[in-house]
Structure 1
Amino acid sequence: MTNVSADRASGPTRRTTLTGLVGGAGALLAAGCSASPATAPTARRTARAYASASDPTPGVMTLFKDPAFNFNGLLALGGSGFGAAEVGEVLTAVNTVNKAGLSAQTYTETFKSLGDQLRRPPSSGKPEAETTRARMLRAAQYYAQALFFVLGSGTPGIEPQLYQAGRDAWDAFCARCTPPPVTARVPYGKTPMPVWFFRPDSSGKRRPTVILTNGSDGQNVDMWTYGVAAALQRGWNALVYDGPGQGQLLFIDQVVFTPRWETVVTPLVDWLSARQDVLTGKIALTGLSMAGDLAPRAAAFEPRIAALVAMPGVLSPWLGFPPEIREILTPDKEETNRIWNKEVVPGLSPSEAATMKKRIEPFSAPAMLAAREGKMLTDFYTPATLIKSLDITDVVDRIKMPTLVLDYEFEQFYPGQPRQLFDKLTAPKDYVKLTEATGAQLHCSPMAPQQHCEVVFDWLHETLA
C-alpha cells in the first residue's frame, strides 16, 4: 500500500495555507503479553482500500458546502445509529442553518436551540424516564455541535456555559441508564479526572473492559457512539473519562494536554484493577482521532493493557498542521511569536482566526481564555511546542500488546500516518482500512460508527478470547 505524506509537495503561502486549513479543520478540533525478542512479530490481517476517484462526500453526504461544517454535521447524523442523534432533527437543523446562511453563528445558535428544546419537557406532556434518557443523549450531541463552533460566533464567551449544558445533559442521560454508570474522580496531578464506568448489569460479574480515549475536541457523547453502546451490547464494561485537554479538565479546570499520556491511563488501570467486576487480564485501550497518538503512547509504558486500538493510528499530531504553519515555530520563542503576531495574525480572516483559536485551545489555557474574549492568542510558541512534543515515533517499538490500527479512505487529517505507525510496530498487529465502498470513508468514519465498532469489537473479541 502506498504511503501518503502529511506534507504538501508544493509551497503555498502562509495565507493560502491558512485558507485551506479552515476548510479542513473539522475533526482534529473535531484517538497483553510480551513478545520474545527472538520471535518475529506477526502481521495477521491487512484489508486493502478500494480505489476511488469520486467525491469523498457524494450526494446526501454533503450537508454543507464548507468541509469543516459538513464533517461535524456528518458526525451528528452518524450518531443516530446509537441513539445519539435523530436523523430528522439533524437534517432539519441543517436546513435551518443553510436557509439562514451557513456561519459559525447560525450553526451554534441552531444546535444550541435544539439542545435547549430537548432539555425541556415535550409538548405531549410529562415524559417517562426512558423518553427523558433518550432526549438527554441527543441534547448532549447537539450542545457538542454548538460548542465546536462557538469561538467563531458573536458570543465566544458562552463557551463554558455551552460545555456545562452538554455535560448536564450527559449526566442526566447517565443517571437514567440501567444500571447507571459508576462515577468517580480518579487521581491525576492536582486535578482528578471524572470517569463514568458503564456495565451491562449490576451483577458484579467479571467482564472484559475497554478504556475509551477521546480526541482533541470530542465530548463524552462521542464515546457513547464510538464504543460504550457497542461494548454494552457485547457484554463488556466501558470506561469513559475526561483527561487533560478534554471535557471538564479543559473547559472548567483549564488543564491542557500532556505528552506523557501514560500518566493519565495508569491511574485508570489502577482504578479498574481494584474493582471486582473487571477481568484485569482483559483491559483494552482505544484512542479515537488524535487519541490514536495518545493511546499508543500510554500503551508503550503501561504493560497491563491487553490490547490496543488506534482509530486512526497517529505518529505526530503536529504533522496534521500544514507545513507553512509548522514553519512558524522556530527554536527561539521571541522570534516565533514575532512571526505569529506580525506576519500571520494580521492577515487572518475571521473564519481563519476562529479555526486557529479552536485548534490551539486544548493546548493553551491562556489561548482559550483569550478566545472567549474574542481575542487571538499571542503566544504561539508554547502550544506549538506542546503539540510537537506529542510525537510518539521513538516509543512505538515499546508497545508489546496486540494492536489494531485503523485507517480511513480519504483520511483528511493524518494521511499516511496510520500505515506508518503500523509499519513501525513490532508487536502482533493488524491494519484495517475503512472505505467509501460502504460509506465508511473520512476521518473516524463519521457516517458509519456502527461499522467502525463492529470492526473494533470483533477484533477485540478474537484477540482477547
Structure 2
Amino acid sequence: MTHASKDAADLSRRTALTGLAGGAGVLLASGCTPLGATSAQGPTPSRTGSATGSADDATPGVMTLFKDPGFNFNGLLALGAAGQGAGEVGEVLTAVNEINKAGASAQTYTATFKNLGDQLMAAPVGSKAATETTRLRALRASQYYGQALFFVLGSDDPGGEERLYKSGRSSWDTFCRLSAPPPVMADVPYGRTPLPVWFFRPDVSGEQRPTVILTNGSDGQNVDMWTYGVQAALARGWNALVYDGPGQGQLLQVDRVVFTPRWETVVTPLVDWLVARTDVDAGRIALTGLSMAGDLAPRAAAFEDRIAALVAMPGVLAPWLGFPPEIRKILTPDKAETNNIWSEQVVPELTSAEAATLKKRFEPFSVPAMLAARDGKMFTDFHTPAQLIKSLDITDVVGRIKMPTLVLDYDYEQFYPGQPRQMFDKLTSPKDYLKLTAATGAQLHCSPMAPQQHCEVVFDWLQETLPGR
C-alpha cells in the first residue's frame, strides 16, 4: 500500500503553482527556476546591478524588450544572434515594437515572427534575390521561425507546431545548401531513427582538422548552433558537427522520439561517423553542450573516451532541480497518485499562460504530452515525463569524466543557479571554471546578448587545450 506525502496530498492552487503564477514566461524560456526564486541548488545571485534599470525589472541586469521575462529572454537571443548573422537588429526591434503595440502574447509573438520568416523566404519586393542574399535571408528566417515555434503551443494554432518547425528547417537547409562549401548532410544510425547531421568544414581540401560536436539544449534549433559555435569554429579552421538528437528538432517534432538519459548512446555513433572521415583529426574531437545540454554532453563524455575536450555551457547536474520545488512536489513514487494530484488539483487551476508553459516544458519528454498540446489540451500523465526528466541527473557520473573540461557559468544564471560550480567541484579531470559577467553584457543563461564573447571564451580554451600537432 502506498501513501502520499503530506506535501503532495495537500497541494493547493497557491502551493502547487508558486513560481508559475506571474512567472510563466521565465519558465517557458527554459523550463527552470524563475529569476529571484531559489532552488535546491541554492539561491539566484543577489546582484542588483542593471544595464537599464533596477533588479525589479522583468529581466534584471539587461535591456527590457518585453515586460514578460520569457518573451524578453527569447527576444534577447534573437537580438544577440545578429552579431553572427542569424538575425538583424532592425528586424528584431521592429518585430518587438509590433508585438508590444498589438499587446504581447503568445499569439502576437508567434504570428509576428512567423510573418517575418515568411517575408525573408520570399523574393525581395521588386527584384529577384541573388544567391548570397537568399542564403543570408534564409539564415535569419530560420531564427525567426524558431522564435515563433517557441511560443506556438500558447497561440491560437498549437496544431501548427510541426508545420512551423518544417518552415524553420527548410530555411536552415536552404542556408546550408547555398553555403560555400555546403555542409555535408547525412543520417547517422541511431536505433530505429537516424540522427540528421550537418558537417561544416572551412574548405574541401580534405585537410585533417580538429572538430567540435555542438549539442543543443531542450528547445533550441539548428540556427542556435550556428550562433554558438559553427561560425566561430570555421573562422578558426575547425570543423563543426551540428545534429538533432532525441527530444530535439526533427527527432522530436517529426519522428516523435523523446530525450534519453543515456546521451552517450547518441554521441558515440556521431564519433564513429567522424573518425571514419579523412578530414577529421580523430585525436582532437571536442564536445560542447549548450543550455540543458550542459547536462547531456558531460553525461556522454563520461562514457565516450574518444572525446578529447568537453565544454558545459553551463554545467548542469540535475535538470529536474531546475523546476520550481512546488512543481517537483507533485511527483510521488506512485504513478496513479501523482497523476490524480496533477489532473484533479493542479490542471483545473492553471491559467492559459501557465498551461502553455507546462505543455512546452514537458513535450520533449513525452509524445502523448506533445500531441495533446498540439490538440489544445493538457497532458494527463505527469508522472512518466517527470520521471524521465529526473533520470537525467548526472551527479553520480561526473567523476568518470577524464578529459579536460571547461564549465561555464553566468551572472544572473536564472535556470540552473549554483549547478555549474557544483559540477566543477565534482570533476576530477583537468578542469577550468569561468563565469561570464554583467560587466561586459554577457550575463544571463547562455549570454543571450553576447554570443560572440561566449564563442571567444570557448574556442580560445579549446585551441589552447587541443593545440595543433
Which position in structure 1 is the counterpart of 2:190?
188
Do 1:200 and 1:235's aligned partners in 2 also have CA atoms closer than 8 Å?
yes
Match of 1:33 in 2: none
Name the residue aligned to 1:110.
Answer: 112
- Report the 3-state secondary structure (helix = DSSP H, G, I; strand = E; otherwise coil) of the residue aligned with 1:443: coil
Task: Tell me which residue corresponds to 1:45.
Answer: none
Post-superposition offset of 1:124? 4.0
1:144 and 1:29, CA in 2 relative to 1: closer, same or farther beyond 3 A? Answer: farther
Matched, 1:383 2:409: no
- Secondary structure in 2 aligned to 1:61? coil
Equivalent residue, structure 2, for 1:72: 74
CA distance, structure 1, for counterparts of residue 126 and residue 83 of structure 2: 25
| Letter of the structure 1 residue corresponding to residue 296 of structure 2 | L
SS of the equivalent of 1:308 reads strand
Within 1, Cα distance between the matches of 2:231 and 2:322? Answer: 29
- The aligned runs of 1:22-171 (5 Å cut-off) are 22-29=24-31, 52-54=48-50, 55=54, 57=59, 61-171=63-173
- Equivalent of 1:305, from 298, 304, 307? 307
> Which of 337, 354, 357 matches 1:355?
357
Question: Which residue is 1:452 aligned to?
Answer: 454
1:162-241 mapped onto 2 (5 Å cutoff) = 162-241=164-243
Residues in 2 aligned to 1:344 and 1:81: alpha-carbon distance in whole angstroms: 42
Offset, 1:19: 1.3
Q: CA RMSD in A?
A: 1.5
In the TM superposition, what is the alpha-carbon distance from 1:51 to its structure 2 partner? 5.5
Deviations 1:241-284 (A, max 9, x none): 00000000000000000000000000000000000000000000
- CA–CA distance in structure 2, aligned partners of residues 463 and 27 of structure 1: 33
> Contact (CA 8 Å) 2:80, 2:449: kept in 1 or not?
yes
Mapped to 1, the partners of 2:456 and 2:464 lie a distance apart of: 12
Q: Would the alpha carbon gap of residues 108 and 277 (structure 1) be closer, same or farther in structure 2, given more than 3 Å must change?
A: same
**Aligned ranges for residues 410-425 of structure 1 at < 5 Å?**
410-425=412-427
Partner of 1:278: 280
Give the TM-score of the pair, scaled to structure 1. Answer: 0.92
Report if aligned partners of 1:26, 1:67 keep a CA contact under 8 Å in 2: no
- 2:409·2:421 contact (CA, 8 Å) conserved in 1? yes
Q: Structure 1 stretch 123-132 or stretch 392-401: which is displaced more?
A: 123-132
Q: CA deviation at 1:367?
A: 0.3
Cα distance in structure 1, aligned partners of 2:399 and 2:296: 15
* Contact in 2 for aligned 1:27/1:443 (Cα 8 Å): no
In the TM superposition, what is the alpha-carbon distance from 1:50 to its structure 2 partner? 11
What code does the residue aligned with 1:73 have?
Answer: G
TM-score of the two chains, using structure 2 as the length reference: 0.91
- Quote the offset at 1:361 in angstroms: 0.3
CA distance, structure 2, for counterparts of residue 201 and residue 363 of structure 1: 38
Distance 1:111 1:409, change over 3 A: same
> Identity across aligned pairs (percent)?
76
SS at match of 2:287: strand
Supply the AA of the counterpart residue of 1:248: Q
Query: Any idea what the Cα deviations from partners look like across 1:51-107, whole Å, max 9, x if unmatched?
Result: 654446569720000000000000000000000000000000000000000000000
Q: State the distance in 1 between where 2:124 and 2:305 align.
A: 49
Distance, in Å, in 2 between the alignment partners of 1:92 and 1:243 is 34
Contact 1:194–1:241 (Cα < 8 Å) also in 2: yes
How far residue 128 of structure 1 moved from its aligned partner, in angstroms, is 1.0
Amino acid at match of 1:256: V
Q: Which residue of 2 aligns with 1:433?
A: 435
Is the partner of 1:178 in helix, strand or coil? coil
1:421 alignment partner AA:
M
Name the aligned partner's letter for residue 383 of structure 1.
Answer: P
Distance 1:98 1:386, change over 3 A: same
Distance 1:142 1:134, change over 3 A: same
The alpha-carbon deviation at position 28 of structure 1 amounts to: 1.7
Cα distance in 2 for partners of 1:94, 1:72 equals: 11
Q: Distance in 1 between matches of 2:452 and 2:48?
A: 22
**Separation in 2, partners of 1:272, 1:431:** 28
In the other structure, the counterpart of 1:332 is 334
Residue type of the partner of 2:334? D
CA distance in 2, matches of 1:58, 1:411: 11
Distance (whole Å) between structure 2 residues aligned to residue 390 and residue 462 of structure 1: 31
- C-alpha distance in 1 between matches for 2:106 and 2:403: 43
Q: 1:295 aligns with which of 289, 294, 297?
A: 297
Q: Distance in 1 between matches of 2:255 and 2:18?
A: 35
Tell me, in whole angstroms, the C-alpha distance in 2 between the residues paired with 1:200 and 1:187. 25
Of 185-194 and 16-25, deviating more is 16-25
For 1:164, the aligned partner's letter is K
**Counterpart-to-counterpart distance in 2, 1:197 and 1:134:** 19
Contact persistence 1:405–1:430 (CA under 8 A): yes
Gapped regions of structure 1 (runs ≥ 5): 1-10, 31-48
Q: Structure 2: which amino acid aligns with 1:279?
A: D
State whether residues 17 and 327 of structure 2, in contact with CA within 8 Å, keep that contact through their aligned partners in structure 1. no
Shift in Å, 1:332 = 0.2
User: Counterparts of 1:98 and 1:59 in 2: how far apart (Å)?
Assistant: 21
Structure 2 CA distance, aligned partners of 1:270 and 1:421? 27
Asked if the contact 2:199–2:239 (Cα under 8 Å) also holds between the matched residues in 1, the reply is: yes
If asked which structure has higher relative contact order (CA below 8 Å, sep 6+), I would say 1
The structural deviation recorded for 1:27 is 3.6
> What does the per-residue CA deviation read over 1:2-29, in whole Å, with 9 as the maximum and x for residues that have no partner?
xxxxxxxxx9621333215513124425
CA–CA separation in structure 1 for the residues paired with 2:288 and 2:111: 33
In structure 1, what is the equivalent of residue 5 of structure 2?
A: none
Local SS of the residue matching 1:334 = helix
Partners of 2:129 and 2:287 lie apart in 1 by 37
Flag as ranges the 4+ runs of structure 1 deviating above 3 A. 49-60
Partner of 1:292, secondary structure, is: helix
CA drift at 1:402: 0.2
SS in 2 for 1:13: helix
1:454 is matched by which residue type in structure 2? E
